[in-house]
Amino acid sequence: MKKSINTFLKQPIKDNINRSANPSVTRASTILFNSMQELTKHEKKIKANKKISYYSYGRYGSSTTIELENILKELEQAYHVFLTGTGFGGVALAIMSLCRPGDEILVSDNVYGPTKEISEGLLKEFNIEPKFYNPDRFEDLKNKITKKTKMILVENPGSNTFEFQDLSKIVNIAKRKNIFTFLDNTWGTPLYLKPLKIGFDMSFCSATKYFSGHSDAMGGSLAVNKKVFKKVMFFYKLSGYRMSPDEAYLIIRGLRTLDIRLKKHRENTKIIINFLKKQKKIKEILYPHNSSSKNYRLWKKYYSGANGLLSIVIRSKKKSSVVKFVNSLELFGIGYSWGGFESLALLQDLRAKTKYTEARQYLRFTKDEHIVRLHIGLEDPKDLIQDLKQSLRYIK
């Protein structure tokens, strides 16, 4: 019988040997075969991306990680899914698999900080030239394409500032010029957007975020089409970018409730936004599901849902008062990451330079406008509103 994706997520493969409702956690380095012929035959199946229940060596994964690959393959509608030990490992895997000395890579200026760091700090040392384009201007991307452009790397929506891009336009021009495309889809998840169906070559998600949902596991997921499979598989096997079976088990557990959790995150966020709209100290709410957002049209064009991550823009000449606002929050933890059950707050300094990276090139906010990223968790939204209300009074 045909099942909806929500039903599918509740029905991952079970451990029939032990009669468990959950898959087993298989930890293994050596995989044993009955003969050299059997080993060789199995290697050929892996190379051809045939369905398997175990790998030929533990560096590639185990039966537990294969279970997760199969779930995500269905969710992403992908040819194959590669799993990495951290979210960012998936970004590095994509770039290092496809880019070579002399190539250029076009990167959206609003990408995740470490993505910018690998582009500016590491790729240049390998003679791979990064070019950053304005995510609000498709023409800027178009004008920066050269014969050397090997990949276009997109994050949608943009990290912290939530710019939305017209994804089909990017795919169309990339296909015409034979350029690989990569989309960081951590915010939307393949539940709400399937990048490979639009035409992207690679769809990335930090499994640390909503896939896990419990802030207790780390991992990355890189879904690919047939076009790039062999190139990525070659580097994947050599690099050792592998997710542990224990992390895979936790992420499988989290995926069972992905649809339910995202719905609750979105419901809570809608309530919080209705409160934030009335606060004079907040200049702007950066959240595309908000109908007054300038990105609402593009969100609605491509996405079937939204989640709990947003940013607020606070106008203040005293940055210290914004810091005090964040510090005084009691129910919002201060820390990196997001996508777990808990609410989080983080003041973002997008003008800061690091040893390896420049500040954002295309930032429309003034020096007196401060961005605080909020992740709205699964707590009672009334309590979260009271917490925000008592902390907003510190902003001067």
Residue 387 is part of a domain; what is its CATH number?
Answer: 3.90.1150.10
The domain total for the chain is 2
In the block, tokens 């992390």 appear at 247
Quickly list DSSP for 333-394.
EE-S---SSS-EEEEE-TT---SS-PPPSS----TTEEEEEEE--SS-HHHHHHHHHHHHTT
pLDDT at residue 272, as a whole number: 97
- Partnered with residue 300 across adjacent β-strands are none
> Which of 46-50, 154-158, 242-246 shows the lowest per-residue confidence on average (mean pLDDT)?
46-50
Closest CA to 308 of 255, 382, 217, 378: 378
pLDDT at 113 over 90: no
pLDDT at residue 205, as a whole number: 98
- The whole-chain average pLDDT of the chain stands at 93
The stretch 175-190 carries a mean pLDDT of 98
Cβ–Cβ under 8 Å, residues 383 and 273: no
The stretch 180-203 carries a mean pLDDT of 98
φ, ψ for residue 74, nearest 5 deg:
-70, -45
Residues 227, 82 share a domain: yes
Q: What is the CATH number of the domain that holds 26?
A: 3.40.640.10
pLDDT at residue 144, as a whole number: 98
Domain C-terminal end among 255, 290, 306: 255
Residues 230, 295 share a domain: no
Percent of residues in the chain assigned helix, strand, coil, to nearest 5: 40, 15, 45
Read off the pLDDT of residues 311-368 as tens digits, 9 standing for 90 and up.
Answer: 999 999 999 999 999 999 999 999 999 999 999 999 998 887 776 677 788 888 999 9
Angle, helices 319-328/381-392, rounded to nearest 10 degrees: 150
Read off the pLDDT of residues 149-178 as tens digits, 9 standing for 90 and up.
Answer: 999 999 999 999 999 999 999 999 999 999
Residues 247, 264 share a domain: no
Angle, helices 63-76/245-255, rounded to nearest 10 degrees: 40
SS3 80: strand
- Partnered with residue 132 across adjacent β-strands are 107
Read off the pLDDT of residues 29-44 as tens digits, 9 standing for 90 and up.
Answer: 999 999 999 999 999 9
Residues 225, 89 share a domain: yes
pLDDT at residue 220, as a whole number: 98
Complete edge-to-edge strand list for the sheet that includes strand 309-315: 282-286, 309-315, 369-375, 344-348, 333-334
Closest CA to 62 of 103, 100, 26: 26
pLDDT at residue 353, as a whole number: 77
**Mode of pairing for the β-strands spanning 104-108 and 129-133:** parallel
Residue 15 pLDDT class (50, 70, 90 cuts): low
Q: How many residues does the chain have?
A: 396
The stretch 297-324 carries a mean pLDDT of 95
pLDDT at residue 355, as a whole number: 64
Residue 99 pLDDT class (50, 70, 90 cuts): very high
pLDDT at 119 over 70: yes
pLDDT at residue 356, as a whole number: 61
The stretch 232-249 carries a mean pLDDT of 94
Residues 59, 125 share a domain: yes
Burial (CB < 10 A; 0-12, 13-18, 19+), residue 262, is buried
Residues 312, 197 share a domain: no
CA distance readout (Å), 57 to 65, 189, 237, 276: 13, 30, 10, 52
Residues 268, 142 share a domain: no
SS3 329: coil
259: which residues sit within 8 A by CB, 6+ positions away? 5, 6, 9, 191
The stretch 211-220 carries a mean pLDDT of 96
Domain C-terminal end among 207, 230, 255: 255
> Which of 51-55, 134-138, 198-202 shows the lowest per-residue confidence on average (mean pLDDT)?
51-55
84 vs 241: CA distance, rounded Å: 5
The stretch 47-69 carries a mean pLDDT of 90
Residue 304 pLDDT class (50, 70, 90 cuts): very high
Host domain of residue 287: 258-392
Cβ–Cβ under 8 Å, residues 332 and 387: yes
Residues 278, 230 share a domain: no
201 vs 183: CA distance, rounded Å: 8
> Which of 109-113, 255-259, 328-332, 344-348 shows the lowest per-residue confidence on average (mean pLDDT)?
109-113
Closest CA to 108 of 37, 162, 64, 66: 162
Residues 233, 89 share a domain: yes
199: which residues sit within 8 A by CB, 6+ positions away? 168, 171, 172, 175, 181
pLDDT at residue 350, as a whole number: 85
The stretch 115-128 carries a mean pLDDT of 90
Residues 84, 199 share a domain: yes
Quickly list DSSP for 206-258.
ETTTTTT-SSS---EEEEE-HHHHHHHHHHHHHHT----HHHHHHHHHHHTTH
Cβ–Cβ under 8 Å, residues 379 and 267: no
pLDDT at 182 over 80: yes
The stretch 183-203 carries a mean pLDDT of 98
Percent of the chain with pLDDT over 90: 78
Residue 184: what residue type? D
Residues 282, 220 share a domain: no
pTM comes to 0.93
Domain C-terminal end among 255, 278, 300: 255
Residues 298, 151 share a domain: no
In the block, tokens 């699964």 appear at 378
302: which residues sit within 8 A by CB, 6+ positions away? 167, 188, 193, 198
pLDDT at 16 over 70: no
The stretch 64-79 carries a mean pLDDT of 96
